[in-house]
Chains A and B, each alone.
Chain A
Amino acid sequence: MSFDKERFKSPYSFLFGNMNLRTKTLLIISLVGFVLLAIAINSFFINVDNITTNFAIKNSQPSLQHPFGTDWMGRDMFSRTIKGLGLSIVIGGLASILSAIIAVFLGLSSTLGRYFDHAVNSMTDLFLSIPHILLIILVSISLGGGISGIVVGISLTHWIPLTRVLRAEIKQINTSTYVKLSKNFGRTKLWIAKNHLLPLLIPQIVVGTILVFPHAIMHEASVTFLGFGLSPHEPAIGIILAESMKYLSNGSWWLAFFPGLSLLIIVLLFDLIGDNLQKLLDPTQANE
């Protein structure tokens, strides 16, 4: 859109001035990435034992000392929430990477031949036919609970979109004229994969992995909310929210409100990174 630039000025132009999209996107990505990293690192240093119980200030409303209020044992909800978010980010990260590995493996093998393609398709249908939460519960039980059960469960249910994208992408690249030309020149399959496929697929894999993140975090919170995987005293967001249910009736609204809101913001931030990264890696949009 080169015509009439003034009319198409972004609503955020007061924030970013005259930067082009690439600079803006990079700025957004690094800012948001910094926030998320800060939460993850901070939560690592919060020792659960240091979130002291102090019955003198139990069930206190949000204040300057305790921005998220305190719970029924006088524990600071802000520290517990940050700790929970850190756990969510770690679990989400592990699950996204694992599901990306599954997706790359299946996406690549689906292009090996007709039978492989059929096999991957039927696997997709199979995993789409069971509601995700139910499958995660099953896997969690199967692995005897713990974080590993949740991570494996989430990865087993989240590889499908990326697999489909990769499969379509590989098929499209394989029919392109430059691949045919390379074949005619006698290049090996490995050479074509390294020089024609990988450079185009890596951005897709990166974006796909990051876009799985928000879903993974939400499923982690849902499953721990239901009581699977982690023991009840661990400060996961789902467990904090499940605990808050007992104290809702006496009006302790802050116990549920702030942890859930923080989770919502984290999910939105990851979405933001994913969308912006997609823009950045798509050469047709990047330098607008």
Chain B
Amino acid sequence: MSRKKLIKFLGLKAGTLIVLLIAVSVISFILVEISPIDPVRMYIGEMSLSQEKLDDLNEYWGVNQSLALKVVNWLGNLANGNLGTSLIYRIPVTEVIGERFQASFMLIFISWLFSGILGFFLGVLAGFKKGTWVDKGIKIYSYIVCSAPVFWIGLILLMIFSVQLGWFPTGLAVPIGKLAGNVTLVEWLHRLVLPALTLSITGIAQIALFTRSKLVEVSSSDYFLFAKARGEKGWSLIKRHGIRNIILPAITLQFLSFSELFGGTILVEQIFSYPGIGQAAVTAGLQSDIPLLLGIVLISTIFVFCGNSIADLFYKFLDPRIKESEANEF
């Protein structure tokens, strides 16, 4: 792998990201623009103003400008890093997102790692023990979990562990009567367990099914058969000829799951009242905090794009087979 190629790859990705962000921001802007929400009314809230004052405000914010002009202004502001002010929190959108995204990122990262490792392990186990009750159990689990709504699983966990057993609090990432800054790490982790578990339970299914089918595929290949004929068997056979071949596609798939993870986070945070970006998105949507909602759409786009690009990077630069075939071209 040459460094030149990597730089070219990253440059191309950066260019794509910019184009993508422009497209997403224009489309989402137009979507909220045609909605029946009156931006001035949302800004002033319950205050009653005379029609003259309203007209002045409309004039000041350019409500009556043409759509094209508004889009251009919006893009100009974005280019300067100005995403506007959140109507609910009354602070710049970038600050809200920065704070909220940290909390969500921890949640997403933990469940991503946990579901990836456990899902891969279960998938290998199922493929290794193909046809046995272990395999069937893992498959049934995966099929059922794939069809269950994430938020329902969250509710069930909440009922079992918080209400019945009382092991975890029923909500709020910060204990009542404490400032967010004073929360100890243990208290915070304590509140992270159930949301992360919920996200992981659904995440495991997909990666397990994928790993299983890949391992079964590899098991029927010629080199696998040859290894068997040489007398290799059991776990060492799987480790040396199976896992080596399936780990890269599995990791790639796990990076491609960022979009679903983000969607899952939105639901899970709502159930466990975890103060992350998903909860902010729902609140912003329900209370028509348009600047915040648009900001969250943009950050989620960047997040998903990063996942996809890393998957691409793995595929292009780490897979020895692809590297070799490209080296042969020159």
Residues of A within 8 A of B (CB): 125-126, 128-134, 137-144, 214, 218, 221-222, 225-228, 238, 241, 244-245, 248-249, 251, 253, 256-257, 260, 263-264, 267-268, 271
Known: A129-B24, A244-B155, A257-B156. Is A226-B37 also a contact (CB below 8 A)?
no
For the complex, is B182 an interface residue (Cβ under 8 Å from A)? no
Decide: B300 and A131 in contact? CB cutoff 8 A.
Answer: yes
Decide: A130 and B37 in contact? CB cutoff 8 A.
Answer: no
Across the interface, B282 reaches (CB within 8 A) one of A125, A130, A226, A263, namely A226
Interface string of B275-317 (1 = CB under 8 A from A): 0000001100110100001001100110011001000000000
List the B side residues contacting A248 at CB < 8 Å: 155, 158-159, 163, 170
List the B side residues contacting A131 at CB < 8 Å: 259-260, 262-263, 266, 300, 304
Beta-carbon nearest neighbor of B304 in chain A: A129
Instruction: State the majority secondary structure of interface residues on B.
Output: helix
Inter-chain CB contacts under 8 Å: number:
132
Q: Which 3 A-B pairs have the closest CB atoms?
A: A260-B152, A142-B31, A267-B147
Decide: B37 and A241 in contact? CB cutoff 8 A.
Answer: no
Beta-carbon nearest neighbor of B151 in chain A: A225
Question: What 10 new A-B contacts, CB under 8 Å, besides A132-B259, A137-B293, A256-B152?
Answer: A129-B301, A129-B304, A131-B300, A133-B266, A138-B297, A144-B36, A214-B147, A248-B163, A260-B155, A264-B152
Residues of B within 8 A of A (CB): 20, 23-24, 27-28, 31-32, 34-37, 143-144, 147-152, 155-156, 158-159, 163-164, 170, 259-260, 262-263, 266-267, 270-271, 281-282, 285-286, 288, 293, 296-297, 300-301, 304-305, 308
List the B side residues contacting A129 at CB < 8 Å: 20, 24, 259, 301, 304-305, 308
Across the interface, B20 reaches (CB within 8 A) one of A126, A221, A245, namely A126
Decide: B155 and A133 in contact? CB cutoff 8 A.
Answer: no
Beta-carbon nearest neighbor of B31 in chain A: A142
- State how many angstroms separate the Cβ of B301 from the closest Cβ of chain A: 5
Known: A129-B305, A222-B150, A241-B152. Is A141-B159 also a contact (CB below 8 A)?
no
Among A143, A144, A218, the one with the most B-chain Cβ atoms within 10 Å of its Cβ is A218
- State how many angstroms separate the Cβ of A62 from the closest Cβ of chain B: 15
Known: A241-B152, A260-B152, A268-B147. Is A134-B163 also a contact (CB below 8 A)?
no
Beta-carbon nearest neighbor of B155 in chain A: A256
Decide: B35 and A143 in contact? CB cutoff 8 A.
Answer: yes
List the A side residues contacting B156 at CB < 8 Å: 256-257, 260
Decide: B147 and A133 in contact? CB cutoff 8 A.
Answer: no
Among B35, B36, B300, B308, the one with the most A-chain Cβ atoms within 10 Å of its Cβ is B35
Beta-carbon nearest neighbor of B266 in chain A: A133
Decide: A134 and B170 in contact? CB cutoff 8 A.
Answer: no
Decide: B263 and A132 in contact? CB cutoff 8 A.
Answer: yes
